[in-house]
Chain A
Amino acid sequence: MPKSILITGASKGIGAATAERFFYADNDITDLILLARESEEFEKLIGRFADDNPHGKRVFPHFIDLADRARIVGLMRDVMAEAGKVDILINNAGYTAPCALQQISFADFERTMGVNVYAPFTIVQELLHCGNTFELIVNIASTAGMSGRPGWLTYGASKAAVINMSEAIKEELSIYGTRVVCISPGRCATDLRRKLAPDEDPSTIMQPEHVASVIDMLASDVGHLVDSQNFVVRR
């Protein structure tokens, strides 16, 4: 049966790697709904998909800042109008501006919570209100949400919220048969990681494609055997 997948933060890192993996595979995913802020990387990804579409899949790109909750609400109606449904949702978009407690601006803390916590919540809730039920939701948290670290207060707190929220969503959406998995990647070579650990050599750590392969597994038949409230992925 044809399925659709919605990926947030699709312009780069884990989001882009996941989009590429599902786009180029000969699988039952026929529609890809990709959300990201406007950027050169996102334009290039969309261009690549337009130039080389071996399986004739439909791609619906949307430029959006996920800190803008009102826009998310409107966009979910548009998504339902164009794609008809969202079977698989990958809440991947993340934001961080590492900072010591004494120097954190509250606006930045709010933005972190907005992108990392309120956005995935709003997407799930609005799509439900549009009459959509999901087959699978994957929320990307972080091992940073499992223990507090100096300088990562806002990011760690937001990811801890994602882990807890995922447990509640898993229980609440069980009535629809929806599978909900929270993934907590360890060190992964993304732009966000570069902000958290600027001196690290990214070639020595886990790559976004590795996390994308785990997401692919979760969407496969084998994924039905995974019952985890927080699935740690690390190299």
Chain B
Amino acid sequence: MYSLMLLNGGIGNRVAAGRPKQFIEVAGRPIIVYSLVAADAVPEIDQIVLNYPEGFREEIEHLVADYAVQTPVTYVAAGASRHESVAAMLPECRNDRVLIHESARPLVGTADFKQLVADPRENVSLMLPIPFTVAPVDPDTALVTGSLERDRLRNVQLPQKFLKADLAEAHEQARDRRLVFTEDATLCAVTGHEVHFIDGQDTNIKVTTPTDVKLAGFLLGGDDDA
């Protein structure tokens, strides 16, 4: 069985002035609801560890009840950074295997979680091939410094799955070595753990700007008939 760590603590200044972005509505529902409901339909997830921005626990608890989420939820106060949040949530996970997702990705589907759960490998991330060209640059001098093979690069997505012990050890190393990562697949890989990837969906966008809110609303509106 799996514990899902649902990251939900960040304040999205770019999207919703002064209000946590997980409360912004996409296609008529708070954005966090989509991830909760998708995870709730996965039988292998028997615990959701959910962090909340300070002052919003009650509101989050109401959403969980109102939207008929049946998987037991463990609430953890959000840390000052993503690193701190994951470090605080990990000990609350009661399973040896954990999934990580973030509420800012409302296009996640039950099938995404099931695909990860079904994968026989221990540490796996959804990732997306990069369909455009990227270049290494020196931002200080505005010089292009070389070239990158896009076939050897991936856009890192969530959800991801890890052995709890591997993730905990990676975070411990990061703390000791003062490494800062914005997500956990590369953190685990850099700290010596084997991490695999499988192709995700290009619709699984992270909502960070008002344009993203509109795009997610469009994508969640369902397929138009021909």
Docked CA distance A171–B26 (Å):
13
Contact of A131 among B28, B29, B34, B68 (CB under 8 A): B68
**A interface residues, tally (CB under 8 Å):** 12
CA of A133 to CA of B68, assembled, Å: 7
Does A194 make an interface contact (CB < 8 A)? no
CB distance from A103 to the nearest CB of B (A): 39
Cα distance, A152 to B33, chains bound together (Å): 40
Main secondary structure of the interface of A (DSSP, over half): helix
User: A107-130: which residues lie under 8 A (CB-CB) from chain B?
Assistant: 128-130
Chain B residues within 8 Å of A174, by CB: 222
Q: Let me know if A176 is at the binding interface, CB within 8 A.
A: yes
Contact code string B8-50 (vs A, CB < 8 Å = 1, else 0): 0000000000000000000111000110011001000000000
Chain A residue, CB-CB nearest to B36 = A175
Write the nearest CB–CB distance from A196 to chain B, whole angstroms.
Answer: 35
* Known contacts A128-B66, A129-B66: A175-B37 contact under CB 8 Å: yes
Task: Identify the 7 closest CB pairs spanning chains A and B, nearest first.
Answer: A128-B68, A175-B37, A131-B68, A131-B70, A133-B68, A129-B66, A129-B65
16 inter-chain pairs at a CB distance below 8 angstroms, sorted by A residue, are: A128-B66, A128-B67, A128-B68, A129-B65, A129-B66, A129-B68, A131-B69, A131-B70, A133-B68, A171-B27, A171-B28, A175-B29, A175-B33, A175-B34, A175-B37, A175-B38
Interface residues of A (CB under 8 A from B): 128-133, 171-172, 174-177
